[in-house]
Amino acid sequence: MKDERHPSLRAFAAVPPERAGIFTDFDGTLAAIVDVPEEARPWRGAGPVLSRLALRYAVVAIVTGRAASDVARRLRAPGLRIAGVHGLEERFGRRVRPMPDAAAARTAIERAARTLEELLRDHEGVTVERKGLGVAVHVRRAPDPEAAERIVTAIVAGVAKDAGLAAHGGRRVVEIRPMLATDKGTAVARIAAEHGIEAAMFCGDDLGDIAAMRAVRAFGVSCVIGVVTAESPPQLADEADVLVDGPADVVRILRSLDS
């Protein structure tokens, strides 16, 4: 594991907060991975420290695969921007705004969700989650998650192709989203540009987070925190400056910036 006192973390902490932004994933980063997505809860203290940081930093944003309103309901941290469904929508305050062209795909997404529910209804432990602008198929509860993931990946790819949508993989999940050039990286870049920041930190744990990790490298000062588990993609260790074991470590790092 890389030492969390890495120079990039010290350099980020030295930047005046009003010129810096903090971006973080939710599942696996601020909340432990659970078998049932509905049971996910933020790590103790995550919400309060993020709210305090939002008062000092130019921007503090959650960039997540979940729907933005879902994360807002779980985290309950005022002052945050939340980019949901991998950047396809954003919530700030109480309003959720879809990105341009994303809303047009909602009907196709809903149709794909119904098709997947029908095709996968007899697959034990496989669940379909509707997210408005996306649909996720979870296999973590299947008797053999690896085998289920292979089967589900093929089925989801076929449904996505027929619907003119895109399929994406993750940690024991396969998703369908609109075929748009939008991901966590473009979400970070967009929000950062709006705030004119000079330094950025991103915390993440999964394949979809790598685009965001690379996006923060565009800044003069950047720090990438990677949460590593047995399921982490190999690329994560190559992209991160600091490797930690779980959400407790991420919250501890955030607290170190709250002074």
Active-site amino acid positions: 25
Whole-angstrom distance, CA of residue 64 vs CA of residue 183: 10
Give the DSSP H/E element, type plus range, for residue 238.
helix 235-239
Instruction: Give backbone dihedrals phi and psi of 51, rounded to 5 degrees, phi first.
Output: -65, -40
Cα-based torsion angle of the residue sequence 61, 188, 84, 110 in order, rounded to the nearest 10 degrees: 170
Whole-angstrom distance, CA of residue 163 vs CA of residue 112: 7
Q: How far is CA 6 from CA 30, 196, 222, in A?
A: 21, 25, 12
SS3 232: coil
Whole-angstrom distance, CA of residue 216 vs CA of residue 231: 24
Rg (CA), the chain: 18
CB 182 within 8 A of CB 86: yes
